[in-house]
Chain A
Amino acid sequence: EVQLVETGGGLVQPGNSLKLSCATSGFTFSTAWMNWIRQTPGKRLEWLAQIEDKSNNYFISYLESVKGRFTISRDDSKSSVYLQMNNLKEEDTAIYYCTPKFYYSAPFDYWGQGVMVTVSS
């Protein structure tokens, strides 16, 4: 059974940083392309970042609006993916999900339960 467990969320002030983690099991993590997606309080879904696997040199892609503030990384030895978020803004308030992709043009088959990030003073 595929499991994705996001942790690290919470309440943070604007301008501060937060690092999200996603621990996975039930699939071959090392060959999966890992993604972060968020859902705003208005229910809008927004893809944020993807990190490909070792065979693709861990190529990374970002949504333009978070490039330079967010950093995705992975640790294949721990089957985990991370999202470092810096200089947080109130509009970053959302539920953050990690999801795997198993080939290039693929939907998101599996989602974690998500972790809430609230940016507010």
Chain B
Amino acid sequence: DIRMTQSPASLSASLGETVNIECLASEDIYSDLAWYQQKPGKSPQLLIYNANSLQNGVPSRFSGSGSGTQYSLKINSLQSEDVATYFCQQYNNYPTFGGGTKLELK
């Protein structure tokens, strides 16, 4: 199985700040990587796919980058509605997820 190591596990940031979340795959996943946002009591929602493609309807302050084994999610100008837990997921092989990053406001 491909292991996905996500960091940090939790993050506190101020409104308007830029936030970065990292995801490291145990082997090359050829950009078959997605990012999801999950708000409390809700199911995960797809933000980014193919490492850097923005899902329809997702604000442009969200962006993804990376290749090979290293990927990142960037949130520009943090808004209050961005408070959530974020997960990465690879789909190059049987799907596996990162452990999540809980984003809170400072």
Contact = CB atoms under 8 A, between A and B. Distances in A.
Interface string B55-91: 1000000000000000000000000000001010101
B103 interface: no
A46 interface: yes
A43 B99 CA distance: 8
B96 interface: yes
A111 B45 contact: yes
B43 interface: yes
Contacts of B96: 47
Given A105-B32, A107-B46, A114-B43, A46 B97 contact: yes
Interface centre among A35, A37, A47, A108 (most CB of B within 10 A): A108
A61 interface: yes
A105 B91 contact: yes
Contact of A63 (B36, B45, B87, B94): B94
Nearest to A101: B91
Contact of B34 (A44, A64, A107, A114): A107
A61 B96 CA distance: 14
Given A43-B85, A109-B46, 5 more contacts: A46-B97, A97-B43, A107-B91, A108-B46, A114-B43
Interface of B: 1, 32, 34, 36, 43-46, 49, 55, 85, 87, 89, 91-92, 94-97, 99-100
Interface of A: 35, 37, 43-47, 61, 63-64, 97, 105-109, 111-114
